[in-house]
Amino acid sequence: MPSIFKEGTYDSGSYARTGTLSLNGIQIETPIFMPVGTRGSIKSLTSEDINELGYNLILANTYHLYLKPGKEVFDHFHGLKNFMSYKKALLTDSGGFQVFSLASLFKFEDDGVRFQSHIDGSYHKFTPSSVIDMQRSIGSDIMMVLDDCAPYGSDTKRLELALDRTHRWAKESYEYWMENPNGQNVFPIVQGGVNEALRLKSLETLQKIDFPGIAIGGLSVGEPRPEYIRILECMAPHLDKARPRYLMGVGTVVDILEGVKNGIDMFDCVLPTRNARNGQVFTSKGKINLRNESHRLSESPIDSECSCKVCQTYSLGYIRHLHKVKELTAFSLSTYHNLFFMQSFMEKMRKSIEIGNFRAFYEHWKNLFGS
């Protein structure tokens, strides 16, 4: 199977690199941040907004889309991209993490996990093949395997059990996917908590299988940042150069910096969009709380160095007012700005790697957003 990833430039002082991800004719420059459209929509934005912002790859959630609107709808509309009028690339997770974190009850079985919907308590079951089938219906360009993400703080026995399930299900997923690849790609998910030996064991086991890429799960799930960095650093020298590496659910500026420094190519997180709806925006000077009284009479934009249409049009004082009176427009304007910021931030990071200035870039943004 042809490779979907082409390496670009490496930073001489770290594992940071640029590259190009090719998904069914769509070219995506890496490192990349993917906005999260959990239920088939990036909250408060339209698909036209996403195209305007220049995002060629977004994420949706299999668990939520499986429950509503369901597989039948996606089969009828020939996939989520047609359904939501978004024509670029799509990545979906398997829904396993949401089963463990949202479902009111779940139980592991040999061939999968049985759970109750967090919406109505109805019973369902995910298996390695059923989540691939669901993602086939969604029409994902990149699908995730079903895995077992043990919660932070799990003991060694629980982590080893999670690895056994994760590896077994990954092999089953690969074999099932290979029966009909259909232009879609599947990534396995490295687990192991903050146990270095188990992380390396999981990485080695999964990289022996000919998956198009590799994902890393179970980080940024409550562990202290030094633990997060330690695990990234232990894996970095062992990551396959020929495949894209995706760090799941990571999206703070500082965590992305650490990820890129350690060879990660792909990131996703709800944080930029969720924080925007809660009145926090990201700027060239750091984070701003839009609801602060100090902004009440401000005629300045959110960020004087930002060229997004929000900063070119609206004052900080006006957007603060919208948040204070809970106008829905506040959500869309703040979200648009934050996703413009993330897109620009990643573009500047790629440039810094290309020109050999990543270390200075890393230090500058870490100092700004490190608190």
Q: Look at residue 143 and tell me if it is in a domain.
A: yes
Distance, in Å, from the CA atom of 222 to the CA atom of 96, rounded to the nearest integer, reads 18
**pLDDT 10s per residue in the chain (371 long)?**
679 999 999 999 999 999 999 999 999 999 999 999 999 999 999 999 999 999 999 999 999 999 999 999 999 999 999 999 999 999 999 888 888 777 668 888 989 999 999 889 899 999 999 999 999 999 999 999 999 999 999 999 999 999 999 999 999 999 999 999 999 999 999 999 999 999 999 999 999 999 999 999 999 999 999 999 999 999 999 999 999 999 999 999 999 999 999 999 999 999 999 999 999 999 999 999 999 999 999 999 999 999 999 999 999 999 999 999 999 999 999 999 999 999 999 999 999 999 999 999 999 999 999 86
Do 256 and 290 lie in one domain? The reply is no
Q: Look at residue 9 and tell me if it is in a domain.
A: yes
Would the annotation count 93 as a binding residue?
A: yes
Would the annotation count 218 as a binding residue?
A: yes
Which residue among 93, 148, 265, 303 is the active-site one? 93
Distance, in Å, from the CA atom of 55 to the CA atom of 28, rounded to the nearest integer, reads 9
Would the annotation count 120 as a binding residue?
A: no
pTM: 0.97
**Residue 155 bears catalytic tag:** no
Do 235 and 309 lie in one domain? The reply is no
CATH assignment at residue 75: 3.20.20.105
Would the annotation count 306 as a binding residue?
A: yes
Which residue among 141, 265, 268, 303 is the active-site one? 268
Do 186 and 301 lie in one domain? The reply is no
Q: Look at residue 348 and tell me if it is in a domain.
A: no
Do 230 and 287 lie in one domain? The reply is no
Range of the domain at 319: 279-336
Would the annotation count 240 as a binding residue?
A: no
Q: Look at residue 357 and tell me if it is in a domain.
A: no
Do 147 and 292 lie in one domain? The reply is no
Do 265 and 283 lie in one domain? The reply is no
**Residue 148 bears catalytic tag:** no
Q: Look at residue 266 and tell me if it is in a domain.
A: yes
Do 187 and 65 lie in one domain? The reply is yes
Distance, in Å, from the CA atom of 99 to the CA atom of 38, rounded to the nearest integer, reads 14
Would the annotation count 337 as a binding residue?
A: yes
Do 73 and 47 lie in one domain? The reply is yes
Q: Look at residue 249 and tell me if it is in a domain.
A: yes
Distance, in Å, from the CA atom of 143 to the CA atom of 165, rounded to the nearest integer, reads 18
Neighbours of 52 (CB within 10 A): 14
Would the annotation count 311 as a binding residue?
A: yes
Do 142 and 256 lie in one domain? The reply is yes
Q: Look at residue 317 and tell me if it is in a domain.
A: yes
Q: How many domains does the chain have?
A: 2
Do 173 and 43 lie in one domain? The reply is yes
Neighbours of 26 (CB within 10 A): 14
**Domain's final residue, options 237, 270, 303:** 270
